[in-house]
């Protein structure tokens, strides 16, 4: 981490007039279904600064994956429309032509997915697939492409890359395949890497290796990372800022340490408290009652209201993602009066206070 | 209560002795030693956790415990008897007491059967009571897991993941088992639902006196629910002990690395600074390393580790480990648990 928490850095950046690398404004995605048009996400607002590592967290169906895909305009066939702006380095990706998008995808913004086996083509060698990105985006000779591929394989921690470059995906383990995917995504030196659950299919010891690699690459090559995950632990270990999504909306945006210790939204707090802890506790786990409303029957007003222990008058009104001070934003009108517990029990432990006031 | 007195109070409901399970590879040229010499007891009324990474053999043990797989060698005793020695009819009656629940409730429920029909099926197969009696028991089981009456008439696709997992639990309960093997039962569930289902398991255990064998790759889940936990690596146990001991004072270098690799949702100031990142990946169980199986990735490996396999020994009361050097004080590090001081 550089100077101070990222939220602070971001605020300073804004004052300096420094432009964020990615600036999503009012993004909403609609899908056609047999039951009409469904609004999958709406009013998504967030920025990612150059080199910043941001976690997008939420449970299945909250819209985190589709948000990542929409930045690259990789939308499924039943896509019905997109609102808002996706400003990447000043260019609105939402209104780019297919040709312009092809020039950006893989070169300036790259993406890696959860299941490396389905993202790699089984009939081509890994070296061929990594070099393909290079060949598409630049006029490069075969030998130079191979040399760069070897260098990149070494960089992502593949032992004896000279031997591995001509291997087919099935000859590699899960962890190595994910390293190959990372190599392919980084070979053109993108400014933004979108990683959608990159370690969910991996074992915990291999996950630790991959997360360390992502962190290291982001730090040394100043690649911004947008890490989409359901695992708050992964975000805590990898990112500096955490954006929490619920039912298609951003509900909280804060520096990771702050969100973990003093979450401002009842949903973030509920999630943190419902996690079983590594140290044996054997008590009952606090849980969030009910379930996420389905897209077809989204309630008006706060979408978390029906499950929220703090619901009160005013929650039936539309909630704005409001500035909560210190570079934090939250979509809850009661945030200032609620003192919600976070990942530490009890929340007022001296260590928690120490972290919060840092 | 000390560990020793707990042991006296609880006789084993399951005893596993030198269990081996081997599979032929599809080309029949090699043998996979999925489980290779495992010994443990499950005590009545406890939750026994087994953690391990993919391919460690934890699921194979789970399936063998309920005789979905037969041991290649060694023995599994239920209440002191060997079910495989029973006549067929008695074996079938016997195995009702030992149930298993899997990770994916979608795969476990027939999409064309109503919830009630799914829950009824084990009772029908076991030909217990009259039809009305069976239906009453099935509805009771659904109520027991917190599902409203009208869910019996629904189909699986009308339920959420957490609700479907409750149905699967209800179905396992209908035959009033003594022990349930739970294989990654919360892995497919969303975070906010996971706590609910874990709480349900705890309630059922308290009310019905159930014994669980909880198999998972998730350290946080296993430490939350289990009284004792075994750590598995490449077909063998490397450590077994009371959960608190294993989680806070681990003896085996693999356990130490596993605990250190677990990403924790804690602010940076509270996380341990140095993490042990293991190099490489788990070797193939077709051709495991000689001596200690963990030696190829172990940061403390010595020549001795290549030459002979470490003995499975009780280093502290009720705390077992398979490592030549686990009793060297300079080798163990007290793990920072990440708790508030």
Q: Which tens digits make up the pLDDT trace of B257-276? A: 999 888 888 888 877 666 78
Question: Is the pLDDT score of B252 beyond 90?
Answer: yes
Across the range A34-63, mean pLDDT stands at: 93
Strand partners, B40: B16
- pLDDT at residue number B231: 97
All residues of chain B having their beta carbon less than 8 Å from the beta carbon of residue A344 are 266, 270, 340
Q: Collapsing DSSP states into helix, strand and coil, what is residue B58?
A: helix
- The CA-based diameter of chain B, rounded to the nearest angstrom, is 67
| pLDDT score recorded for residue A237 | 92
Alpha helices in A138-203 (DSSP H): 142-155, 161-164, 174-186
Question: Is pLDDT of B171 > 90?
Answer: yes
Please state the rounded mean pLDDT for residues A17-42: 90
Instruction: Give the integer Cα–Cα distance in Å for B253 and A267.
Output: 37
Q: Does A2 reach chain B within 8 Å, measured CB to CB?
A: no
Q: A236 pLDDT exceeds 90?
A: yes
Interface test with A, best of B48, B197, B233, B267 (most A CBs within 10 A): B267
Distance between CA atoms of B216 and B233, rounded to whole angstroms? 13
pLDDT at residue number B38: 96
Query: What confidence category does residue A203 fall into, taking pLDDT thresholds of 50, 70 and 90?
Result: confident
- Closest residue in A to B281 (Cα) is A206
Which is more confident, B177 or A3?
B177
What does the alpha-carbon distance between residue A294 and residue B257 come to, in Å, rounded to a whole number? Answer: 41
Q: Closest chain B residue to A234 measured between Cα atoms?
A: B263
Q: Is the pLDDT of residue B277 over 60?
A: yes
Alpha-carbon span A354 to B267, nearest angstrom: 11
Residue A345 banded pLDDT, cuts 50, 70, 90: low
pLDDT of residue A349: 46
What is the model's pLDDT at position A357? 41
For residue A325, pLDDT beyond 60: yes
* Band of residue A351 on the pLDDT scale cut at 50, 70, 90: very low
DSSP string, A166-184: T--GGGS-HHHHHHHHHHH
Residues of B in contact with A1 (CB under 8 A): 268
The number of C-beta contacts closer than 8 angstroms across A and B is: 162
Whether the ipTM is more than 0.95: the answer is no
If you average pLDDT over residues B307-330, what whole number do you get?
A: 90
- For A246, the 3-state DSSP assignment is strand
With a cut of 80, say whether residue B177 has pLDDT above it. yes
Please tell me whether residue A211 adopts helix, strand or coil conformation. helix
Pairwise CB contact (< 8 Å): A285 & B198:
yes
Is there a contact between B50 and B241 (Cβ–Cβ < 8 Å)? no
Which residues of chain B make contact with A158, given a CB cutoff of 8 A?
Answer: none
Give pLDDT, residue A358: 39
Q: Point out the least confidently predicted range of B6-10, B120-124, B236-240.
A: B6-10
**A128-145, pLDDT tens digit by residue?**
999 999 999 988 999 999
Q: Which of B191, B277, B338 sits opposite A274 (nearest CB)?
A: B191
- H/E run at residue B252: none
**Optimal mutation site among A279, A296, A303, interface B, most CBs of chain B within 10 A:** A279
When pLDDT is cut at 50, 70 and 90, the band that residue A218 belongs to is very high
- pLDDT over 90 for what percent of chain B? 68
Which of B162, B223, B277 faces A279 most closely, judged by CB atoms? B223
Question: Mean pLDDT for chain B?
Answer: 89
Contact of B73 with B18, CB cutoff 8 Å: yes
β-strands B179-183, B211-216 pairing: parallel
- Name residues 23-52 of chain A within 8 A of B (Cβ): none
Kindly state the DSSP code that residue A320 receives in the 8-state scheme: P
Identify whether B168 is preceded by a cis peptide bond (ω within 30 of 0): no
Partner-chain contact A291 B265, CB within 8 Å? no
More confident: A238 or A295: A238
Beta carbons within 10 angstroms of residue B69's beta carbon: 17
At B168 the three-state DSSP class reads helix
**How many CB atoms neighbour CB A44 within 10 A?**
26
Q: Which residues 305-344 on chain A approach chain B with CB closer than 8 angstroms?
A: 343-344
Q: What are phi and psi of B95, to 5 degrees?
A: -75, -10
Does position B157 have pLDDT exceeding 90, yes or no? yes
Q: How many CA atoms lie within 13 A of A172 on its CB side?
A: 28
Nearest chain B alpha carbon to A286: B195
Evaluated on CA atoms A339, A340, A342, A344, the torsion sign reads positive
B54 contacts A350? CB cut-off 8 A: no
Q: Where are the alpha helices (DSSP H) in A25-125?
A: 64-71, 98-104, 116-119
Percent of chain B with pLDDT strictly greater than 70: 92
Chain A nearest-CA residue for B163: A291
Residue B111 is predicted with a pLDDT of 95
Cα–Cα distance measured from residue B137 to residue B174, given in angstroms and rounded to the nearest whole number: 7
| Burial of residue A173 (number of CB atoms within 10 Å: 0-12, 13-18, 19+) | middle
As a whole number, mean pLDDT of residues A217-223 equals 92
**Does the pLDDT of residue A354 top 70, yes or no?**
no
> Residue A286 and residue B195: Cβ atoms within 8 Å?
yes
């Amino acid at each position: 981490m550089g100077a101070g928490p990222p939220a602070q850095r971001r605020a300073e950046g804004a004052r300096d007039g420094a432009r964020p690398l990615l600036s999503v404004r009012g993004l909403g995605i609609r899908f056609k279904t047999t039951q009409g048009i469904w609004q999958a996400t709406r009013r998504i607002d967030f920025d990612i600064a150059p080199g910043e590592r941001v976690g997008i967290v939420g449970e299945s169906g909250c819209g985190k994956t589709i948000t990542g895909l929409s930045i690259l305009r990789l939308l499924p066939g039943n896509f019905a429309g997109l609102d808002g702006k996706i400003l990447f380095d000043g260019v609105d990706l939402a209104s780019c032509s297919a040709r312009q998008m092809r020039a950006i995808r893989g070169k300036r913004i790259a993406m890696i997915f959860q299941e490396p086996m389905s993202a790699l083509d089984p009939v081509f060698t890994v070296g061929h697939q990594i070099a393909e990105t290079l060949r598409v985006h630049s006029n490069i000779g075969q030998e130079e492409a191979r040399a760069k591929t070897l260098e990149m394989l070494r960089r992502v921690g593949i032992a004896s890359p000279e031997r591995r470059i001509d291997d087919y995906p099935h000859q590699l383990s899960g962890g190595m395949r994910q390293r190959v995917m990372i190599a392919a995504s980084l070979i053109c030196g993108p400014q933004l890497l979108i990683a959608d659950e990159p370690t969910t299919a991996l074992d915990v010891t291999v996950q630790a290796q991959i997360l360390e690699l992502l962190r290291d690459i982001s730090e040394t090559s100043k690649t911004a990372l947008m890490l989409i995950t359901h695992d708050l632990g992964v975000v805590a270990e990898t990112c500096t800022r955490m954006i929490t999504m619920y039912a298609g909306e951003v509900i909280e945006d804060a520096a990771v340490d702050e969100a973990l210790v003093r979450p401002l939204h009842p949903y973030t707090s509920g999630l943190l408290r419902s996690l079983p802890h590594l140290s044996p506790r054997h008590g009952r786990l606090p849980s969030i009652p009910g379930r996420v409303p389905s897209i077809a029957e989204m309630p008006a007003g706060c979408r978390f209201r029906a499950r929220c222990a703090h619901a009160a008058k005013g929650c039936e009104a539309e909630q704005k993602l409001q500035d909560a001070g210190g570079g934090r934003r939250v979509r809850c009108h009661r945030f200032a009066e609620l003192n919600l517990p976070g990942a530490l029990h009890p929340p007022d432990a001296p260590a928690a206070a120490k972290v919060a006031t840092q | 209560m000390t560990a020793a007195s707990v042991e006296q109070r609880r006789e084993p409901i399951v005893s596993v002795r030198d269990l081996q399970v081997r599979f032929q590879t599809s080309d029949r040229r090699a043998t996979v030693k999925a489980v290779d010499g495992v010994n443990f007891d499950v005590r009545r009324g406890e939750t026994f956790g087994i953690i391990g990474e993919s391919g460690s053999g934890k699921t194979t043990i789970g399936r063998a415990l309920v005789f979905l797989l037969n041991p290649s060698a060694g023995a599994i005793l239920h209440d002191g008897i060997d079910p495989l020695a029973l006549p067929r009819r008695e074996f079938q009656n016997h195995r009702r007491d030992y149930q298993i629940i899997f990770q994916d409730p979608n795969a476990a429920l027939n999409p064309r059967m109503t919830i009630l029909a799914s829950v009824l099926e084990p009772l029908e197969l076991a030909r217990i009571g009259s039809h009305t009696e069976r239906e009453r028991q099935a509805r009771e089981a659904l109520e027991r897991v917190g599902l409203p009456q009208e869910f019996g008439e629904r189909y699986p696709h009308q339920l959420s993941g957490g609700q479907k997992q409750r149905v699967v639990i209800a179905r396992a309960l209908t035959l009033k088992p003594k022990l349930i093997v739970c294989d990654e039962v919360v892995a497919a569930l969303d975070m906010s639902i996971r706590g609910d289902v874990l709480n349900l398991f705890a309630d059922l255990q308290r009310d019905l006196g159930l014994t669980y064998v909880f198999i998972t790759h998730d350290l946080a889940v296993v430490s939350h629910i289990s009284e004792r936990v075994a750590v598995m690596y490449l077909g063998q146990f490397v450590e077994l002990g009371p959960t608190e001991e294993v989680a806070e004072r681990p003896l085996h270098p693999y356990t130490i690395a596993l605990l250190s690799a677990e990403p924790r949702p804690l602010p940076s100031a509270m996380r341990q600074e140095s993490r042990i990142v293991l190099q490489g990946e788990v070797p193939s169980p077709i051709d495991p390393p000689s001596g200690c199986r963990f030696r190829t990735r172990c940061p403390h490996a010595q020549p001795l580790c290549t030459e002979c396999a470490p003995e499975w020994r009780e280093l502290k009361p009720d705390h077992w480990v398979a490592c030549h050097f686990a009793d060297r004080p300079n080798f163990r590090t007290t793990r920072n648990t990440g708790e508030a001081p």
